[in-house]
Structure 1
Amino acid sequence: MDLPVMPPVKPMLAKAVAKIPPGMQYEAKWDGFRAIVFRDGDEVVIGSRTGKPLTRYFPELVTAVRENLPPRCVIDGEIVVAYDGRLDFDRLGDRIHPADSRVRLLAERTPASLVAFDILAVGDDSLLSLPQSDRRTVLEAALSAAGPPVHLAPVTRDPAVAEEWFERYEGAGLDGVVAKPLGLPYRPDTRVMYKIKHERTADCVVAGYRLHRSGPVVGSLLLGLYDAGGVLQHVGVCSAFSERRRAELAEELEPLRVDVAGHPWAAWAHAEAHETARLPGTPSRWSGKKDRSWVALRPQRVCEVAYDHMEGDRFRHTTRFRRWRPDRAPESCTYAQLEEVVRYDLTEVLSAGGR
């Protein structure tokens, strides 16, 4: 492979802001695996956000890249998996599997798509120094003849349209809007774009915590919600506390510590238990040999957390602590409090990229 921009390349990143800023290029924020795709003839490398290759996990995209992208190019985009008309991150995560036979099987059962939203090189030319608006023009020309599973991400310069996308596209599994300054050159591994994500709040039961790597202090709180059958399900974590606050939490929660044997999540260490309930320490190819042990607490305290959206019956991302809720009974913290998003057909989003 001999391209003007060579792997590995870490993608340009975005920083969170509260509102959609004016005077920019706006795109939907895709919920998948960020990928930099390098093609030099038949040679294809798909690099992850960290620079590690994803190529072997998506053989169907290697074929699609050869069929739909220019012979020599570098494309920035998102790998996504669609199911039942919306993005499905869990099924996308299943694609990262060590067995080649399983990878091939899943490539047929849950094929991935590539949503392209930037271009770093084409032919013999590096485009890193070009402004965002010019790179978009080149990208549209490069993908003018592309077809599924390669898609051109829809864009607009109208803030009103971006606001509409922010509200409507969440129903298709997308999680916000990205704003890009029109004159911005491509700056790898730098937060120079802006992301606007949905934020909601929920009252959750604090049923345990994990220790921080720095010592015997709280690293993250383990959150639970009661399902319709009255079973406490693990739905996510809350973290990002200051060093001082981590120590304070450990002292504050000490009276609630219990032996895990009598806890609602006592079966967490048994793999088969995860098949019928959502428990902390779920086996994952992402966690590897990471210690998943945790400190059990009596599920008596409730906290309010901010979250962006749900992935099935759990929080998609780490939540943000807002406050303790001493006025709430743990049993009142159910899934019923969560806002249900109006569904929106993903194909409508993808088809907009060509217009």
Structure 2
Amino acid sequence: MTVLLSCENVSKFFGGVKAVKNISLEVNPGEIVSLIGPNGAGKTTLFNVITGMYEPTDGTVYLGRGDSPLDITGKKSHKVAEKGISRTYQNIRLFNQLPSIENVRVGMHTRTERPFARSMGTFIVFWMNTYGVWLCGGALTAILYVFCIGLAGFLEYAYIRRSRGRPITPKARLIVDLVIFILGAVAFILLLRHFIAGEPPAQHWWPFVLPLIYTFYLCGRSWSAGIHDDDEQTLAHRYLDFVGLDGLEYELADNLPYGLKRRLEIARALGSKPFLLLLDEPAAGMNPVETENLMKLIRKIRDAGLTVFLIEHDMRVVMGISDRVYVLDNGELIAHGTPEEVQGNPRVVEAYLGRET
């Protein structure tokens, strides 16, 4: 069977503390694999090494094996996420003042087409547009242009705050966009008139022609930029529905009960379209009903084609959903196998219950 994730002799030391010592393990596609052990055994440290939050002291982490395994040892966490590994954390880390759907969209950032280049391009075009408006219509027109763009952003922010996360209404956005469009169009017409008359408003007028045309993009967010945003919105709705949060898309994360916050964190992790999902104690703090529902969700994730690697202390969860189990104690791998094999392993019993004297 092809190996999806492999750790070979991985160690992580913090000064004289050997948190993880010479760990080798494998996770195969389509599995649910659990990593268990007493508190302080090194489980989360190993997850942090795999996901790039810690650089290992020794050893190698591979994605795949075969003829061309990808060495992700020591890569930054955002690079690891881009390669298809996503995770949740022991302590819930959500943006509490954002609605659920925006939390999911944060997780989709690594799958946005050239996000940095697109953001910088929009920023540069905005200022070139502003300069072009100033050249053609004067300083007052340019100030009004910038004011309207700022007003559009402020109105959207104010509406979201007032409506508990719901986006600004199309009518309100259209009015502001229309003003921006008119200003940009007037500036373009003035520039064109100067050009036809052979009297360009400045010696280097030509760099501003395309940016002014691009005003259609900036002021028509509902049409152009909105196409991409609508795609993201649709996907985010799909992930929320998948984890059982349909109808709560615009509820602030801070208002969700604990169990639903855990589900939202999983939805955000799914937003990066991973093929390997790492869950760090997802059942921690849940009541029995929430735990049972979580087990169903994890199986559902696996059935959807993802591989799941989780840390968990709740043995009912571990024994109920795991295909294989690895056991750590004091940073060392002491056992691995099926849940039944691990459950009866004397070293595992000793790690949890101690040795008879």
Using the size of structure 2 for normalisation, the TM-score is 0.25
Higher strand share: 1
Higher helix share: 2
| Higher RCO (C-alpha 8 Å, min separation 6) | 2
Q: Which has the larger radius of gyration?
A: 2
Using the size of structure 1 for normalisation, the TM-score is 0.25
